Amino acid sequence: MKYLLILFTVIGTLGAGITLPAGMEARFVQKVTNPKKEVIRYTGEMIMDNGKRFKWSYRSPTRKEVCSDGKRVIVVDHDLEQVSFYRMDKGFDLGAVLKRARHYKDNLYTARYQGRTYTLAVDGKGRIEQIAYRDDMDNVVNIHLQKLKTLSSPPSAAQMRCTYPKSYDRIEG
């Protein structure tokens, strides 16, 4: 989950035929397959701008929100009634990944970044549809974006904000 949290923190350039809009919204399905081939499937919605802000709203199997302004990540776990705040020490630069992306075949690109190989699938318009990689725990992570909607202007700060009741436990990380 660490890399999902920081996946869209630094965005900006075009890479090898892959287009990133000024902002976007999408539904997502995230599948995490561990080395024993056990699969956990998460679903939800995401919204991001072309800078450092994003919000991932998980709906299943747990209700959770993950928001970032590029400097801090806030994780709101509604099932546990807690909110965690983290400072980002090491960000993931999607723009740098895209600069390294090389066409593999058909709609697939691969990129090597920070010792990790990413596979990116794009649609007919060059927009990212799918991102796959192996995380630090040797899990295979596959994020599929569905019903992608590009935005002509960045989302408002209110749309990107994680909300939670004051009664939730607060954890500073």
Tell me the DSSP string of 53-94.
-EEEEEEESS-EEEEE-SSEEEEEETTTTEEEEEE-SS--BH
Average pLDDT over residues 60-78: 91
Both tokens of 104, joined, read 């593999």
pLDDT on residue 164: 95
pLDDT on residue 11: 36
User: Which residue in the block uniquely carries the two structure tokens 């899990």?
Assistant: 139
Supply the mean pLDDT for the chain. 84
What is the architecture of the domain spanning 2-160?
Clam (2.50)
Residue 90: pLDDT band (50, 70, 90) is low
Cα-based distances in Å from 36 to 41, 61, 137, 169: 15, 20, 12, 34
> pLDDT: is 163 or 150 the higher one?
163
> In the predicted model, is pLDDT for residue 50 greater than 90?
no
Question: Contacts by 99-105 with C-beta closer than 8 Å and gap 24+?
Answer: 99/13, 99/15, 99/16, 100/15, 101/15, 101/16, 101/17, 101/18, 102/16, 103/16, 103/17
pTM of the predicted protein model: 0.78
> In the predicted model, is pLDDT for residue 65 greater than 90?
yes
> pLDDT: is 30 or 96 the higher one?
30
Residue 4: pLDDT band (50, 70, 90) is very low
Domain locations in the chain as residue ranges: 2-160
Rg of the chain over Cα atoms, rounded to whole angstroms, equals 16
Strands 82-87, 23-33: pairing is unpaired
